[in-house]
Amino acid sequence: DGGITQSPKYLFRKEGQNVTLSCEQNLNHDAMYWYRQDPGQGLRLIYYSQIVNDFQKGDIAEGYSVSREKKESFPLTVTSAQKNPTAFYLCASSIGGRSNQPQHFGDGTRLSIL
């Protein structure tokens, strides 16, 4: 089955620790995205990548980093500089990085602070 796989489903972070969230897709999509979802707020874009080895900051990139070494993989690192990391993180992909290509989502990773 084609789709987007996010792991782990739940993740806990200690103070001062960096953690990495995994996102893998087998849809052969060029573009990939990371969003953060908080209660009562819409999805907010953290980073996006339209092609391998290239990525751009979204609206709330501070305290996060990404890499795009392979087409199918777009991991997100939540660094210790992110002071309020508790949220539901969603990875998405689309055929291309343009608005006329709808985005498809994985089932998310819930990150909490220990």
Distance CA 91, CA 106 (A): 6
Query: Binding segment for another protein among 12-20, 48-56, 70-78, 79-87 (CB under 8 A)?
Result: 48-56
Told to check if 71 binds another protein by CB under 8 A, we report no
Query: Binding segment for another protein among 11-19, 60-68, 77-85, 91-99 (CB under 8 A)?
Result: 91-99
Query: Binding segment for another protein among 11-19, 34-42, 68-76, 79-87 (CB under 8 A)?
Result: 34-42
On whether the CB atoms of residues 3 and 25 are closer than 8 A, the answer is yes
Told to check if 42 binds another protein by CB under 8 A, we report yes
Told to check if 100 binds another protein by CB under 8 A, we report yes
On whether the CB atoms of residues 61 and 79 are closer than 8 A, the answer is no
Distance CA 31, CA 87 (A): 23
Distance CA 11, CA 108 (A): 11
Give the residue, chosen from 40, 53, 69, 83, that forms a contact with another protein under the rule CB under 8 A.
40
